[in-house]
């Protein structure tokens, strides 16, 4: 189904160009931003919200194996993990290990 | 005599310092986010094989696109037999987020003399993992060496993962379900804790919450534009809220 040169062309046009155009525009737009400027605050807020939207979707609508696990387990593991992370002085190692442990225990318990 | 020697020697020392910071950036390859991403790319190579891509295509895709969601989407549309324009539209929609991500890093990374061509080249290596890395660490790097530091990390991360796809293609067909689940979950929970931990400005925390809430909600309402709406809408709302807070704090300060 994948003819070699055509596939590479698709990757270049619909993959590389479709993605890097935005990176280049980001460089050009970012070069006009001052480090202390109001507009940088807005750009930073939009970038953060975008990344967190992608992140939350990974938990709520996962692909692969996790798509068969119950939503409450994934949300519970992430939520409790975040609460423990905040209580433990915002240590990233805690923020990663607690939800993963909860998830694995949940998956094992549900069989 | 001293001046004659001073020029080239100083230049050489300067070059060594840039190289040193490049190496320090490279060391980031052993950081937790880099390791998590590598595991994700092992998963990607299994997905590519399953979808009918050759090893060469999977490797080329990783190096040239360097954005895991965009790569997954492109494979999805290709296997679905979508025309080129449709593939382009689907991928470019998911990659619009690159623009504010790259733009928000630029003022921190460049100096006044950094050539735009260098920044355009380096922007290719910016994806979520290196964005988080740069947001957290660039501040502690002397401004003059930030480009070298980011280049060290970004290029190493991309090339290492390209190599991982090349090597693991066909070797790892799938992980045991529990391990695959834990690996998949690592990425979001890592982003959640590290972005929150590195958020110094209140506006970032508000945008963080807005993105988390709006992302899945928008996915239900407008599946094709969800991330875009959540990012633009949530980010702008967070900015306006924060601006209002700052203005009233200023007024309260002036009144007191």
Instruction: Quote the minimal CA–CA distance from B127 to chain A in Å.
Output: 9
Instruction: Quote the minimal CA–CA distance from B160 to chain A in Å.
Output: 19
What does the alpha-carbon distance between residue B27 and residue B24 come to, in Å, rounded to a whole number? 5
Residues 65-104 of A with CB under 8 A from B: 65-66, 69, 74, 77-78, 81-82, 85, 90-96, 99-100, 103-104
Closest-CA residue of chain B to A98: B189
Which residues of chain B are within 8 Å of residue A63 when distances are taken between CB atoms? 72, 184
Which residues of chain A are within 8 Å of residue B243 when distances are taken between CB atoms? 38, 41
Assess: ipTM above 0.95.
no
* CA geometry: angle B186, B43, B138, nearest 5 deg: 50
Number of alpha carbons in the 13 Å side-chain half-sphere of residue B162? 17
Sign for the pseudo-dihedral over CA of B176, B30, A60, B173: negative
pLDDT of residue B81: 82
Q: Find the helix packing angle between B116-123 and B98-109, rounded to 10°.
A: 140
Helix, coil or strand: residue B137: helix
What does the alpha-carbon distance between residue A10 and residue A13 come to, in Å, rounded to a whole number? 5
Which residues of chain B are within 8 Å of residue A103 when distances are taken between CB atoms? 181-182, 185
pLDDT confidence tier of residue B157, bands split at 50, 70 and 90: very high
pLDDT of residue A1: 46
Instruction: Quote the minimal CA–CA distance from A27 to chain B in Å.
Output: 6
Pick from B67, B70, B187: which is nearest to A58 by CB? B187
What integer is the mean pLDDT of B178-198? Answer: 86
HEC secondary structure over A52-106: HHHHHHHHHCCCHHHHHCCHHHHHHHHHHHHHHHHHCCCCHHHHHHHHHHHHHHH
pLDDT confidence tier of residue B7, bands split at 50, 70 and 90: low
pLDDT of residue B8: 67
- pLDDT beyond 60 at B234: yes
Sign for the pseudo-dihedral over CA of A94, B130, B29, A18: positive
Contact by Cβ (8 Å): B64, A11: yes
- pLDDT beyond 90 at B194: no
Pick from A22, A24, A33: which is nearest to B96 by CB? A22
> Of residues B188 and A20, which shows the higher confidence score?
A20
Number of alpha carbons in the 13 Å side-chain half-sphere of residue B143? 9
Instruction: Quote the minimal CA–CA distance from B16 to chain A in Å.
Output: 27
Beta-carbon separation of A64 and B95 below 8 A: no
Beta-carbon separation of A48 and B185 below 8 A: no
pLDDT of residue B255: 62
Sign for the pseudo-dihedral over CA of B104, B58, B179, B214: positive
Which residues of chain B are within 8 Å of residue A104 when distances are taken between CB atoms? 178, 181-182
Q: Compute, in degrees rounded to 10, the torsion defined by CA atoms B45, B47, B50, B51.
A: -110
pLDDT of residue A79: 97
- pLDDT beyond 50 at B2: no
What does the alpha-carbon distance between residue B141 and residue B15 come to, in Å, rounded to a whole number? 16
Q: Does A48 touch chain B (CB under 8 A)?
A: yes
- pLDDT beyond 70 at B4: no
pLDDT of residue B222: 87
Report the residue of B37, B122, B181, B198 to disrupt the A interface, i.e. the one with the largest count of A CBs within 10 Å: B181
Beta-carbon separation of A47 and B100 below 8 A: yes
Whole-number percent of chain B with pLDDT over 70: 96
What integer is the mean pLDDT of B91-104? Answer: 91
Domain ranges of chain A: 63-111
> Of residues B7 and B246, which shows the higher confidence score?
B246
What integer is the mean pLDDT of B161-187? Answer: 86
Using only C-alpha atoms, chain B has a radius of gyration, in whole angstroms, of: 21
Q: How far is CA B216 from CA B60, B167, B212, B225, in A?
A: 31, 35, 7, 12
- pLDDT beyond 50 at B1: no
pLDDT of residue B98: 93
Closest-CA residue of chain A to B204: A45
- pLDDT beyond 90 at B191: no
> Of residues B154 and B223, which shows the higher confidence score?
B154
pLDDT of residue B43: 81
- Among B105, B247, B237, B104, residue whose Cα is nearest residue A40: B104
Using only C-alpha atoms, chain A has a radius of gyration, in whole angstroms, of: 20
Output the tens digit of pLDDT for each of chain A's 111 residues. 455 788 999 999 999 999 999 999 999 999 989 888 888 899 999 989 998 998 999 899 987 778 889 999 999 999 999 999 999 998 888 999 999 999 999 999 987
What does the alpha-carbon distance between residue A70 and residue A106 come to, in Å, rounded to a whole number? 10
């Amino acid at each position: 189904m994948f003819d070699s040169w055509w596939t590479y062309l698709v990757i270049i046009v619909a993959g590389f160009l479709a993605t890097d155009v935005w990176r280049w525009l980001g460089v050009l737009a970012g070069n006009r931003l001052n480090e202390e400027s109001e507009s940088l605050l807005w750009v930073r807020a939009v970038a953060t919200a975008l990344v967190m939207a992608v992140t939350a979707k990974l938990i709520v609508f996962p692909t692969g194996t996790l798509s068969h696990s119950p939503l409450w387990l994934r949300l519970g593991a992430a939520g409790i993990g975040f609460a423990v992370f905040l209580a433990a002085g915002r240590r990233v190692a805690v923020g990663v290990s607690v939800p993963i442990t909860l998830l694995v225990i949940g998956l094992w318990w549900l069989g | 005599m001293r001046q004659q020697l001073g020029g080239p020697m100083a230049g050489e020392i300067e070059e060594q310092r840039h190289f040193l910071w490049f190496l320090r950036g490279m060391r980031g390859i052993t950081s937790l986010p880099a390791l998590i991403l590598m595991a994700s790319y092992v998963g990607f190579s299994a997905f590519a094989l399953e979808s009918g891509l050759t090893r060469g295509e999977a490797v080329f895709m990783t190096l040239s696109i360097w954005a895991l969601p965009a790569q997954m989407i492109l494979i999805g549309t290709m296997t679905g037999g979508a025309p080129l324009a449709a593939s382009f539209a689907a991928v470019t929609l998911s990659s619009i987020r690159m623009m504010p991500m790259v733009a928000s890093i630029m003022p921190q990374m460049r100096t006044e003399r950094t050539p735009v061509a260098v920044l355009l080249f380096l922007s290719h290596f910016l994806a979520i993992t290196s964005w988080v890395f740069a947001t957290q660490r660039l501040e502690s790097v002397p401004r003059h060496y930030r480009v070298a530091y980011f280049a060290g990390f970004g290029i190493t991360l991309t090339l290492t993962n390209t190599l991982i796809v090349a090597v693991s293609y066909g070797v790892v067909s799938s992980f045991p379900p529990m391990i695959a689940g834990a690996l998949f979950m690592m990425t979001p929970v890592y982003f959640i804790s590290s972005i929150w931990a590195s958020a110094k400005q209140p506006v970032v925390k508000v945008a963080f919450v807005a993105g988390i809430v709006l992302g899945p909600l928008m996915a239900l309402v407008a599946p094709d534009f969800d991330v875009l709406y959540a990012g633009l809408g949530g980010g702008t709302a967070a900015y306006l809220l924060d601006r209002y807070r700052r203005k009233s704090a200023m007024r309260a300060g002036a009144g007191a």
